Structure 1
Amino acid sequence: MPARAQGEGGAPVRIAVIEAMSGPFANTGEAIMRNLRFAVERINARGGVKLADGAHRLELVPFDSKNQVDEALLLLRGAADQSIRIVMQGNSSAVAAGLIEGVNRHNQRNPGQRMVYLNYSAVDPALTNEKCSPWHFRFDASSDMRMAALTEVMRRDREVRKVYLINQDYSFGQEVARSARAMLAEKRPDVEVVTDEFHAIGKVKDFSPYAAKILSSGADTVITGNWGNDLTLLVKAAREAGFKGSFYTFYGNALGAPAALGEAGVGKVRAVAEWHYNAGEPGMDRAYDAYRRMFPRPGDDYLNARMLHMTDMLAAALERAGKVDAVALVRQLSGMRWTAEGADLWMRPDDHQAIKPLYVFTMQKQGVGTVRRDVEGSGYGFETTLKVSAADLTLPTRCKMAKLPE
């Protein structure tokens, strides 16, 4: 007998998660899967999604890309062969760019089996500009939006005088460096960028030579978009080398970075996201408590609001569409507004970029000020430095969106 189509007779709605589950970034893939498992289980606990033919559970199907573009494209083909119509990915903008092209090709060649790609953390601006696609939606802020928020704090932080840029040498890291230079020139023309450094992604095991260069440069501030072990090893090396300056980061609030910095990070390490554990949003506070009941180990303490919002918006789009159909899902997600659990998110139809406020937050000891919750049992958490409005982060787009098929 032929396999039943998704959505038929109670069959689960399957979601392919193409992510690095092994290799140097395995910890990030594992953290992503915990977030998505939690998000999906919340929906399934209330009966799943209600389509025209009845209720259906959501089911995650993980695929290990090893953070390689070619591997991710093979896995995309495998997901299509399994009749999976919804794909999620986020860790690596290079992989994301490949998947956008892969989904575009698949949908053009297979109009009866089209796929939708939901992106939770690949933030290269090109993905919703030159590479924009009607089949791709980004639920994270772009790197330009994140840098705009960070540099709003730097505009006020008069201790920032000499900046060292260090980033992973691929499209995302290059965009972080570009936007940092451009926005600092606009907002703080008095600041000197002393070095613009790039390193191979996922290849460096010892960052002490980079830490030595940071010290010798005289920089008082490091700006980095590094993520995963590339960030943790960098901040650990800087601490051990005796760097006393500040870190302005995209992802310095988890995956071992606070514990690696310890006391040296208090008041010195800043990160940016749509939410953090001490932001004081009651809906997300309740979600965080439920997540920790599901994943109580300190090392598993890594919850992202955007993955909950993405999964909840997908569920709402499925129910409004009444079926698992890519064109119908795109029409529902494009322009959708989402306000559950303190979210303030608009999926801009022009480029499928989520427009939302961002928090910039600073590392502090647990128990000091508003820091009720620490991160990963480290004894250190984060407090809000500045909340930047969605209006201030609504950047222009260069996207020329292709029309949906009828």
Structure 2
Amino acid sequence: MAALLALSVVAAPFAQADTVKIAFIDPLSGPFAPVGQNQLHSFQAIAELASRDKWAGEHKIEVVGFDNKASPQESLTQLKAVIDQGYRYITQGNGSGVGLALLDAINKHNERNPGKEVVFLNYAAIDPDMTNSKCSFWHFRFDANSDMKMEALTSYMAPNQDIKSVYIIGQNYAFGQAVSRAAKEYLKRKRPDIKIAGDDLHPIAQVKDFSPYIAKIKASGADTVITGNWGADLALLIRAAKDADLKASFYTYYGVTTGVPTAMGAAGAERVKIVGNWMVNNESFKGKEIVEAYKKKYNDDYYTAQTHSSIGMLAQAIKAGKSTDPVKVAFAMEGARFASLNGEVTMNKVDHQLQQPLYIGTWTRINGKDVRYDQENTGYGWKMDKKIDAYQAGQPTSCQMKRPGV
């Protein structure tokens, strides 16, 4: 009897240890599959690290992929399926149209099913509305929204007097429209002399040949292109620009995404720039161990630092609150600070928008000094031009959040 009692005392701390399962709902087939697969593996790599190093105490974290085919309707079907399977946390990032559909469905589910709430960890759907007019207690965004990134990008562009004419091109959905609006608004405020030479929106994931768009850009005489395109849509755009020998510089949000580095190659050197929340060739190469381990395991490049901050902040909240309950975890994440790959980040309590430093970088040949890591074995990587403090990229919010029990 005494032996059994001793055994129960030893086992007690581990009896309540859970595996916290996160459903990754993003494209794992179709034109955006390479990006989705990369980001699923990125989440899984960080979840393994978190479990190994006990970020959430004795609780394990697991990320499982569900293919939404980049479709809002398919995403809602997958959401219902994962909720039925007992998932209480979901993550998504590829497409704000999908993100907005999931957010609305999660709000309705949580209202109708108290005790079975679901939390949405948004790692890359960056339409500003998601933390403004459509903000929700159940939604946390770990990427900077598109206005924050445009604030950083245009502040970097403004002193460059060589920029005289800008062409804006993007995908025709919520995010692409937000990029277009912000680019025009912020440039007018900071550099009213810059001419907007063109402003095109094209169907997402449907254009196979961007040469007609590149011909328009070339004919406009623009010296600079701003684009929010990502995945195959950016890779094909860059490839068409290379084929047409377009000399304009490209300012991108997602030049880092799978397929784009290969499409750029040497032709993009010193002409393609990116705004993002992290790059491995940063001031201290923070995150290089993750990059190296990821390359070894997947023969691919780790570039989505939001996977680190989202898993890290979730695990921290679970450990601090001593609970895996989504309601308690959500409250614990509000206002929380976390030491991520880009420095200390803070989850803004008012709107659940992560406040974090941003980086501007240029596609450059590796040199073993400030550009040590390349992408896609091209021999080229991102050179850090500037790190922008969180407060500089910060934006006002119109969020009027309703919290449970209040």
- By the TM > 0.5 criterion, same fold? yes
CA contact (8 A) 1:374 1:380 kept: yes
The residue type paired with residue 392 of structure 1 is Q
User: Is it true that 1:281 corresponds to 2:288 in the alignment?
Assistant: no
Query: Of 121, 126, 148, which aligns to 2:124?
Result: 121
Q: How much has 1:283 moved relative to structure 2?
A: 3.6
SS in 1 for 2:153: helix
User: Is it true that 1:16 corresponds to 2:18 in the alignment?
Assistant: no
Task: Give a deviation string over 1:276-333, Cα, whole Å, max 9, x none.
Answer: 12113344123222322322x2xx2132222111101111111122222121011111
CA distance in 2, matches of 1:363, 1:14: 36
Q: Which residue of 2 aligns with 1:346?
A: 346
Q: Which residue of 1 aligns with 2:176?
A: 173
The residue type paired with residue 253 of structure 2 is F
Q: How much has 1:66 moved relative to structure 2?
A: 0.6
User: Is it true that 1:303 corresponds to 2:318 in the alignment?
Assistant: no
CA shift in 2, pair 1:282/1:214, >3 Å: closer
CA contact (8 A) 1:177 1:196 kept: yes
User: Is it true that 1:68 corresponds to 2:71 in the alignment?
Assistant: yes
The residue type paired with residue 104 of structure 2 is E
Task: Give a deviation string over 1:103-158, Cα, whole Å, max 9, x none.
Answer: 10000000010010000000000010011000000000000011111111211222
Q: How much has 1:11 moved relative to structure 2?
A: 4.5
Q: Which residue of 2 aligns with 1:4?
A: none
SS in 2 for 1:360: strand
CA contact (8 A) 1:282 1:342 kept: no
CA distance in 1, matches of 2:46, 2:321: 20
Q: How much has 1:79 moved relative to structure 2?
A: 1.1
CA shift in 2, pair 1:253/1:11, >3 Å: closer
The residue type paired with residue 277 of structure 1 is V
Q: Which residue of 2 aligns with 1:385?
A: 385
CA distance in 2, matches of 1:64, 1:23: 10
CA distance in 2, matches of 1:13, 1:369: 40
The residue type paired with residue 163 of structure 2 is V
List structure 1 runs of 4+ shifted beyond 4 angstroms.
7-11
CA contact (8 A) 1:254 1:376 kept: no
Q: Which residue of 1 aligns with 2:202?
A: 199
Moved more, 338-347 or 151-160: 338-347
Q: Which residue of 2 aligns with 1:183?
A: 186
CA distance in 2, matches of 1:20, 1:346: 29
CA distance in 1, matches of 2:44, 2:144: 22
Among the aligned pairs, what percent are the same residue?
41
CA contact (8 A) 1:85 1:324 kept: no
CA distance in 1, matches of 2:55, 2:368: 41
CA contact (8 A) 1:309 1:343 kept: no
Task: Give a deviation string over 1:336-370, Cα, whole Å, max 9, x none.
Answer: 01124452211000000001110000111111762
Give the alignment's TM-score, normalised by structure 1: 0.93
SS in 2 for 1:338: strand
Query: Of 143, 147, 154, which aligns to 2:146?
Result: 143
Moved more, 341-350 or 92-101: 341-350
CA distance in 2, matches of 1:167, 1:8: 51
SS in 2 for 1:229: helix
Q: Which residue of 2 aligns with 1:25?
A: 32
SS in 2 for 1:247: strand
CA contact (8 A) 1:254 1:302 kept: no
Q: How many positions carry a matched residue from both structures?
A: 393
Q: Which runs of 5+ in 1 are unaligned?
A: 1-6
Backbone CA RMSD of aligned residues: 1.6
Query: Of 221, 227, 250, which aligns to 2:253?
Result: 250
CA shift in 2, pair 1:341/1:29, >3 Å: closer
Task: Give a deviation string over 1:242-266, Cα, whole Å, max 9, x none.
Answer: 1011000001124222322222211
CA contact (8 A) 1:149 1:393 kept: yes
CA shift in 2, pair 1:111/1:198, >3 Å: same
Moved more, 282-291 or 357-366: 282-291
Query: Of 25, 43, 57, which aligns to 2:60?
Result: 57
SS in 2 for 1:16: strand
